[in-house]
Amino acid sequence: TKRLKRSMRQHRRAGEKLFIDYAGSTLALADGSRAQVFVAAMAASSYTFACATTDQSMRSWLAAMARALAFYGGVPQLIVPDNPRALVSNACRYEPQINETVHDFARHYGVS
């Protein structure tokens, strides 16, 4: 233990968590419009999925999550978004209220 750096070690179980977010700057498309980059990464393996969406609306979040789950060929126990303003109906520091459509998505896929 004297040789190890003092840092927080997080042990991840395979299939437990999928981290999702929109990453960085927008991308220029051939037609002159811009695209947002959605990224999903499995916690234990860092196996990554990315796709472009037109915006960061709830419809785009849910469509991108569905595409990610199809890409992975399964569903993790938890999907962990980072600051998903479009998915929250009532913002709160401790108990944010998620939109009912997002609850329906989670129930459909059997994920939290």
pLDDT digits (tens, 9 = 90+) for 31-78: 999 999 999 999 888 889 999 999 989 999 999 999 999 999 999 999
Q: What is the pLDDT, as a whole number, of residue 68?
A: 96
**Residue 12 lies inside a defined structural domain of this protein:** no
Q: Is residue 77 a part of any domain in this protein? A: yes
Q: What is the pLDDT of residues 91-112, one digit of tens each?
A: 888 888 888 999 999 999 999 8
Phi/psi of residue 51, nearest 5 degrees: -150, 160
Could you tell me if 101 and 62 are in contact, meaning their C-beta atoms sit under 8 angstroms apart? yes
Q: How does DSSP classify residue 95? A: S
Residues 6 or more apart whose Cβ sits within 8 Å of residue 17: 42, 43, 44, 76, 77, 78, 79, 80
Query: Considering the domain boundaries, does residue 10 fall inside one?
Result: no
Is there a domain that residue 9 lies in? no
pTM score: 0.82
> Token digits for 2?
């004297």
Q: Does a structural domain hold residue 29?
A: yes
Is 96 contained in some domain?
Answer: yes
Q: Is residue 8 part of a domain?
A: no
Domain count, the chain: 1
pLDDT of residue 10: 67
Which residues, 6 or more positions from 63, have their beta carbon under 8 angstroms from its beta carbon? 53
Answer yes or no: is 5 within a domain: no
Q: What is the pLDDT of residue 83?
A: 79
Give the CATH number of the domain where residue 39 resides. Answer: 3.30.420.10
Question: Which domain range does residue 39 map to?
Answer: 17-109
